Amino acid sequence: MDLRFSAEELAFRDEVRGFIRENLPEDIRERLQLGHKVEKPDIVRWQRILNKQGWAAYNWPKEWGGAGWTPIQRMMFLEEIQTFPAPEVNPFNITMLGPVLIQFGSDEQKKRFLPRAANLDDWWCQGFSEPGAGSDLAALKTAARLDRDHYVVNGQKIWTSTAHMADWCFCLVRTNPQAAKKQEGISFLLIDMKTPGITVRPIISIDGEHHLNEVFFDDVKVPVDMRVGPENRGWDVAKFLLGNERTGIARLGKSKERVNFAKQKARDLRAHGRPLSEDPEFRRRIAALETELKSLEITQLRVLSAQKPGERRQDPLTAVLKLKGTELLQATTELAMDVAGPLAMPDWADELEALSNEPELGPVWATEATRSYLFLRAASIYGGTNEIMKNIVSKAVLGL
Ligand SMILES: Cc1cc2nc3c(=O)[nH]c(=O)nc-3n(C[C@H](O)[C@H](O)[C@H](O)COP(=O)(O)OP(=O)(O)OC[C@H]3O[C@@H](n4cnc5c(N)ncnc54)[C@H](O)[C@@H]3O)c2cc1C
């Protein structure tokens, strides 16, 4: 197998790198370089710049406003965005909803929602998990009862990322509680978050931030034409979506960015009377991580190069990408936090800060490194837990 990129692929990577350098707004670049987290207005602004270039929907076909790229080009694009770093496109709109609508949506749904999703005119969230349905997603209970031309939805979702800023939610609901198999009674609905009867309650995560929510549905009316695919066949749609979600979740570029960040900071910090970057233990840790990242990159290329155009079957190796990719992401965020040492001490008690005149404990990059470390503990849970990925690997990859 030839593992070298072609001249065209390398030229493509240069083009993407050049575009980001030229077009990422200066204030967003500065904030990201200082280590601040990216906020919704920055994501919207940057995604619209990418969309003008035809690149926001990087994994959609051209026909529906996508970039029409090969799997290798998509991988290169993601990696350039993550390592620069620039804001990533909204994954709910681009990686999850878009491909689902293209594959299963009606013509009206495609025309109405795809252009708005690409341009981030609508911000989508994912209403799958429930208090009793996470790894065993098909156990979901949120009910949708058909009443002439609409469904009446009742129930609760949980861990719904960004629901508090979302315009729409794609949701799994139970339309046939009597189905012989629980997977057979589920439908996939598009729900306008402004519909009466929806309540969104925040869940504050360990990094002190509001990413997550509980969403309650109380007699929420959803028009029948907002169902994607046939009634009771929503499980096929969900499986397709989860497969796509896992492919991009390895976030190799993000791990590389964290290692580069740690290396850069280590040049300025001193340990045992010399720059930390010259410390043998630090260098060993960097070398080990970079070696692992390189092996994962090669596995990712193997998965991508085995993909046939238009193929819908998910390669079970994507479970390895998710599993190993998130383990490395967690290891690299830990490295960045360790480099900061005592400076990494979080200082997020904003309310207390408002009451006292205590100065900041450390520079923004250091406390944000801790925030990123803490938030990404969740990477081994979302998108299918790493234990579930191990089950898939043992059965479908190792044949145990
Ligand atoms: C930060 C974050 C963001 C999220 N965003 C969203 C979102 O936007 N939309 C959404 O719908 N959901 C979201 N989720 C939910 C996520 O998909 C679930 O948390 C995940 O699927 C696990 O489900 P659970 O939390 O119910 O845990 P459970 O399924 O109850 O699992 C508990 C533990 O048991 C283990 N376990 C369960 N079953 C098995 C098994 N068969 N074999 C071995 N071990 C097993 C799990 O690995 C885990 O360690 C998010 C979660 C997090 C943490």
Report for 25-39, 99-113, 337-351: range of highest mean pLDDT: 99-113
The reply to whether 70 falls in a domain is: yes
Verify that 256 and 228 share a domain, yes or no: no
Q: How confident is the model at residue 170 (pLDDT cuts 50, 70, 90)?
A: very high
Measured by CA distance, the residue closest to atom 48 of ligand 1 is 385
Give the CATH number, domain containing residue 380: 1.20.140.10
Question: What is residue 345's three-state secondary structure?
Answer: coil
Which pLDDT does position 189 carry in this prediction?
Answer: 98
Domain boundary among 200, 233, 266: 233
Q: Does position 34 have pLDDT exceeding 60, yes or no?
A: yes
The reply to whether 39 falls in a domain is: yes
Measured by CA distance, the residue closest to atom 44 of ligand 1 is 387
Verify that 170 and 63 share a domain, yes or no: no
**Alpha-carbon gap, residue 330 to 292, rounded angstroms:** 13
Which of 382, 391, 400 maximizes ligand 1 atoms within 8 Å of its Cβ, making it the mutation to test the pocket?
A: 382
Verify that 258 and 370 share a domain, yes or no: yes
Strands 168-174 and 124-127: parallel
Question: What is residue 273's three-state secondary structure?
Answer: coil
Give the CATH number, domain containing residue 223: 2.40.110.10
Which pLDDT does position 351 carry in this prediction?
Answer: 44
**Long-range Cβ pairs for the range 305-314 (8 Å, 24+):** 305/1, 305/71, 305/72, 307/71, 312/103, 312/240, 314/243, 314/246
pLDDT digits (tens, 9 = 90+) for 185-231: 999 999 999 999 999 999 999 998 999 999 999 999 999 999 999 99
**Alpha-carbon gap, residue 174 to 83, rounded angstroms:** 41
Verify that 263 and 137 share a domain, yes or no: no
Verify that 167 and 257 share a domain, yes or no: no
- Overall average pLDDT of the 57-63 stretch: 96
Verify that 25 and 144 share a domain, yes or no: no
Q: Report the C-alpha dihedral over residues 357, 363, 368, 374, rounded to 10 degrees.
A: -80
Verify that 390 and 257 share a domain, yes or no: yes
Q: Going by C-beta distance under 8 Å and a sequence separation of 6 or more, which residues neighbour residue 83?
A: 253, 256, 257, 260
- Cα(130) to ligand 1 centroid in Å equals 10
pLDDT digits (tens, 9 = 90+) for 364-396: 888 889 999 999 999 999 989 999 999 999 998
Verify that 45 and 158 share a domain, yes or no: no
| Terminal CA-CA length for the chain | 27
- Cα(42) to ligand 1 centroid in Å equals 29
Atom nearest to 127 CA in ligand 1:
11
How many domains is the chain partitioned into structurally?
3
Q: How confident is the model at residue 309 (pLDDT cuts 50, 70, 90)?
A: low
Share of residues in the chain with pLDDT > 90 (%): 78
**Alpha-carbon gap, residue 255 to 249, rounded angstroms:** 11
Which of 323, 329, 385 maximizes ligand 1 atoms within 8 Å of its Cβ, making it the mutation to test the pocket?
A: 385
Atom nearest to 132 CA in ligand 1:
26
Contact 217, 198 (CB under 8 A): yes
Could you tell me which residue, 351 or 211, shows the higher pLDDT? 211
**Alpha-carbon gap, residue 317 to 302, rounded angstroms:** 9
The reply to whether 106 falls in a domain is: no
Which protein residues are within 6 Å of ligand 1, measured from CB?
125-129, 134-135, 159-161, 212, 378, 381-382, 385, 387-388, 391
Verify that 346 and 381 share a domain, yes or no: yes
Measured by CA distance, the residue closest to atom 39 of ligand 1 is 388
Domain boundary among 62, 89, 116: 89
Selecting among 79, 88, 130, 245, the annotated active-site residue is 245
Verify that 75 and 132 share a domain, yes or no: no
pLDDT digits (tens, 9 = 90+) for 83-131: 999 999 999 999 999 999 999 999 999 999 999 999 999 999 999 999 9
- Cα(384) to ligand 1 centroid in Å equals 6
b/e map 347-382, b = 16+ CB within 10 Å: beeeeeeeeeeeeeebeebbbbbbbbbbbbebbbeb
292 annotated active-site: no
Verify that 17 and 61 share a domain, yes or no: yes
Q: Does position 308 have pLDDT exceeding 70, yes or no?
A: yes
Q: Does position 348 have pLDDT exceeding 80, yes or no?
A: no
Which of 381, 386, 388, 393 maximizes ligand 1 atoms within 8 Å of its Cβ, making it the mutation to test the pocket?
A: 381
Domain range for residue 259? Answer: 251-397
Which pLDDT does position 127 carry in this prediction?
Answer: 98
DSSP letter at 155 equals E
